[in-house]
Structure 1
Amino acid sequence: MKDQFLQAQHLSFAYNTEEGETPVPVLRELSTAIPKGQFVAVLGHNGSGKSTLAKHFNAILLPQGGTVYVGGMDTRVEENLLPIRQTVGMVFQNPDNQIVATIVEEDVAFALENMGVAPDDIRRRVDEALKTVGMYEFREHAPHQLSGGQKQRVAIAGVIAMRPACIVLDEPTAMLDPKGRREVIGTIRSLNREFGITVVLITHYMDEAARADRVIVMNDGQIILDDVPKKVFSHVAALKEVGLDVPQATELSYELRGAGVNLPDDILDDEEFVRELCKLLNKREGEGC
C-alpha cells in the first residue's frame, strides 16, 4: 500500500465519559486507504465515527489501537505531528471558529506568519489562495461582512495558503444556505481537479457525496460500504437501514422500480433520471421526449 497517501490500519478509538465509567468505542478496528489526489466523501449518521476518523487524518486525535499514516508518517510519532498538520489541512463546520483576524487577507496570512514564512512569500501565497477560492476582491473586507459561504471560502483559503497536499473538511456546508453550499463545493472540486489536492469531505448531504470520486459509508465505527457513488447509492435499502438518505433522483427511481418501472438502480441526478425515463417512454410509445 505504498501508493496510498492516507492509511488507517485496524484503527480503534474510544471517548472517555464520566470517571469510572467504561469509555465509549467510536472506531472499531477500522481499516481504509486513500490515494493521493482522490476526492472521497464520508457518510454516516451522528455517532457513526466519521468526524473522529477525520481528526485522525490530521493527528488532532491519535490512535488508541492500530495505526494511521499520512504520507508514510506515523501519527503516533511526536516529531511527525507538525509536518503532518502542514500536510493535511482541516476545515470545520463553522467558519467563524477558524477566522481570527478582522481583515480577510490578514486572516489568510495568520498561519503563514506563525510558520515563519517570509513576508514576500506570504503576500504571494495569500493572493494566490484568495484568487483560487474566488475571494480576492474581498481581501480588504471585514469577515463579519461576508455571507456564510464566503466566510467558509476564506477559511479554505487560509488552509490552502499553507499548501497542504490534503484537505479534510468536516461538514463544511452544514451551516450554509443552498447558494453557500454550491460555492463551497465548487471550490472544493476545483482544488481537487485543478491542483490535485486530496480531499476528504465529511458530509450529510447526499448530493455532495454523489459528486465525489468515492464514497465511504460508516456505521457504528466501521465501514459498511466503500465504492464509487453509483455503486454505493444503488444500495438504497442498506443506506436507509442505517438512517441515511440517497440523492432525490435515486430515491424516485428506487420507488418507481418498486412499482414495476424498469429503471436502472444507479441513477444519481435529475438529468440522468429524465434521460432513462425518456428511453422507457420511447420504447413503449415509439416517441422521443
Structure 2
Amino acid sequence: MAENCIIEVQDLHFAYENELEPEKPAHEVLKGVNLQIRRGEFVAVLGHNGSGKSTLAKHLNAILQPTSGKVLVEGMDTSDPELLFDIRQHVGMVFQNPDNQIVATIVEEDVAFAPENLGVPREEMRKRVDDALKAVHMYEYRHHAPHQLSGGQKQRVAIAGIIAMRPDCIVLDEPTAMLDPHGRRQVMRTIRSLNREYGITIVLITHYMEEAAECDRVVVMDSGRVLLDDTPRQVFSHVAQLKDVGLDVPQVTELVYLLNQAGCQLDPHIIHEEECVEALAQLLGAPDAPGV
C-alpha cells in the first residue's frame, strides 16, 4: 500500500448476480475503481442513484467482496475471510437508518454491544462506552430508551456504538438522509469532531452538496467509475460536468456560476456563503463592475 494510506482500492470491479434469472448476465456496478484514502482524511463520496457509491462503501469494510480487483485495509485483503474480524475492527460502518443498527433497549447497553462481543474487559468496556457517548454528546442520555430519541440522536448513538470499537476509520453511508435539517446539523458536527479532534478517518457517502463542501476531499462517482477526485473547491467548480451526471452543487456555487454566465467575473471556486458575500461586495463596489 502507498505510504500513509489506510484504505486502497485497486481496479475494483463488482457485479450483482441476477438471482431470479441466473441465466442472465450479472449487473456490473463498479467498473475499475481506483482510490486511496489517507489516514486522517475526511472524504465525501458523491453520485446519483445507481452510480455505485453505496456499493463502494460496502467494500470498504468487507460487507461485499470484489468480483475482481482488490480492496486493502491497513494492507489486509478484504476478500480473505480469515481477516474479516480484523478488518472490521479497523473500519466501522454506519448506515442510513439508525434503527437498523440499534439492538438494545437502553442507550449505554446498545453502545456496549459491539465491545462486549469483541471480548473487551468490563472496566475497559465501561470506559469505551462513556468516552464514545461523550464524543457524540449523548452521555446525558445514556440511561434513555433509544426509541424515545430523535432521529439525529439515534444516529449519534449508532455512531457511538462504532466509536466504542475504536476503529481507525468510519464509513458513513448517507447517515443524514432520513433526518430533518436540525438532525443533519447535529450529526455533521459530530462527524467533523471525530475527524478533527480524534483523528478518525471519515468516508462520508452523501447526496447533500453542502455536507460535501465541508470535507477535505470529494470523490464523484458516475456509472461505476470515479469521475472526479479533488478538493471541494476544485470539484464543485465543474458545475456543467456535475449537472450532466445528475448532480447539483452547493447553492452558493450555483449562484456564482449563473452570475458568471451573465457576464460577471467571480471566482468559480467559491463554495461558502461568507466568501460569496465578500466577492459580491467587492464586485458591486468596483467602479467598472458589470450590472448584477
**TM-score normalised over the length of structure 2:** 0.96
Deviations 1:177-208 (CA, angstroms, capped at 9, x unpaired): 00000000110000000111000000000000
Residue 74 of structure 2 is aligned with which of 71, 75, 82? 71
- In the other structure, the counterpart of 2:141 is 138
**Equivalent position amino acid for 1:203 in 2:** T
- In the other structure, the counterpart of 1:9 is 10
- In the other structure, the counterpart of 2:202 is 199
- In the other structure, the counterpart of 2:106 is 103
- In the other structure, the counterpart of 2:264 is 261
Distance 1:198 1:106 in 2: 25
- In the other structure, the counterpart of 1:228 is 231
Is 2:157 the partner of 1:115? no
**1:105 counterpart SS class:** helix
**Equivalent position amino acid for 1:6 in 2:** I
Distance 2:288 2:140 in 1: 54
- In the other structure, the counterpart of 1:171 is 174
RMSD (CA atoms) = 1.0
Distance 2:108 2:25 in 1: 46
**Structure 2 regions of 5+ residues with no counterpart?**
none
Could you list the structure 1 runs, at least 4 aligned residues long, displaced by more than 2 angstroms after superposition: none
Deviations 1:136-182 (CA, angstroms, capped at 9, x unpaired): 00000000110000000000000000000000000000000000000
**2:184 counterpart SS class:** helix
Distance 1:281 1:42 in 2: 36
**2:287 counterpart SS class:** helix
Distance 1:94 1:109 in 2: 19
**1:284 counterpart SS class:** coil
Distance 1:241 1:209 in 2: 18
**Equivalent position amino acid for 1:190 in 2:** S
Identity of aligned residues (%): 65
How many pairs does the alignment contain?
Answer: 286
Distance 2:287 2:274 in 1: 20
**Structure 1 regions of 5+ residues with no counterpart?**
none
